Amino acid sequence: MTDRSKAPSFNVPKRLVFPKPEEYELRNGLKLTAVNSGTSDIVRLSLVFNAGSRYQNQTFVASATLNMLSEGTRKYDAAKIAELLDFYGSALEVNIDRDFACISSYSLNKYLKETLEVLEQLVKYPTFPEEELKVYTQKHKERLIFERERIDKQAVELMVAALYGAMHPYGSFGKPEDYDSLTAKQLSEFHHSYYSPTNAFAVVSGKLSSNTISLVEDFLGSDSWGSPVIPADTKDFTIHHSIEKQLLKEMSDSVQSAIRIGKIMFSRTHPDYNGMTILNTIFGGYFGSRLMKNIREEKGYAYGIYSMLVGMKESGYFTIATETGIDYTTDCINEIRKELDILQNIPIKEEELALVKNYIIGDLLRSLDGPIALADVLIDLKQSKLEYTQVNDFFNEVVAITPNRLQELANTYLNTDTFTEVVVGNK
Span 265-275, pLDDT tens digits: 999 999 999 99
pLDDT-based confidence at 100, cuts 50/70/90? very high
Domain count for the chain, please give it.
2
Span 41-91, pLDDT tens digits: 999 999 999 999 999 999 999 999 999 999 999 999 999 999 999 999 999
Task: State the Cα–Cα distance between residues 111 and 43, nearest whole angstrom.
Answer: 10
Span 54-65, pLDDT tens digits: 999 999 999 999
The stretch 194-215 carries a mean pLDDT of 96
Give the domain CATH number at 254.
3.30.830.10
Average pLDDT in the chain: 94
Task: State the Cα–Cα distance between residues 310 and 54, nearest whole angstrom.
Answer: 16
pLDDT at 40: 86
Res 179 pLDDT > 70: yes
pLDDT at 9: 65
> Quick one: 274 and 215 in the same domain?
no
Q: What pTM did the predictor assign? A: 0.93
**Nearest in space to 49 (alpha carbons), one of 198, 169, 168:** 198
Query: Is the CB of residue 240 less than 8 Å from the CB of residue 167?
Result: yes
Which range among 15-24, 26-35, 98-107 shows the weakest confidence by mean pLDDT?
15-24
Q: Give domain status of residue 12, yes or no.
A: no
pLDDT at 288: 95
> Quick one: 260 and 200 in the same domain?
no
Res 14 pLDDT > 90: no
Res 7 pLDDT > 70: no
Give the CA count within 13 Å in the CB-facing half-sphere of 244: 11
The stretch 171-179 carries a mean pLDDT of 96
Res 2 pLDDT > 90: no
Q: Give domain status of residue 416, yes or no.
A: yes
Percent of the chain beyond pLDDT 70?
A: 97
pLDDT at 20: 83
Span 23-38, pLDDT tens digits: 999 999 999 999 998 7
Res 424 pLDDT > 90: yes
> Quick one: 190 and 314 in the same domain?
no
> Quick one: 135 and 281 in the same domain?
no
Q: Give domain status of residue 287, yes or no.
A: yes
| 387 phi, psi to nearest 5 deg | -75, 155
Q: Give domain status of residue 237, yes or no.
A: no
Interacting residues of 275 by C-beta distance below 8 A, sequence separation 6+: 397, 401, 405, 406, 409
> Quick one: 209 and 68 in the same domain?
yes
The stretch 186-196 carries a mean pLDDT of 97
pLDDT at 427: 62
Neighbour tally for 15: CB within 10 Å:
9
> Quick one: 63 and 164 in the same domain?
yes
Cα angle 56-57-61, degrees, rounded to a multiple of 5? 50
Identify the domain containing residue 60 by its residue range.
22-221
**Nearest in space to 291 (alpha carbons), one of 348, 332, 243, 352:** 332
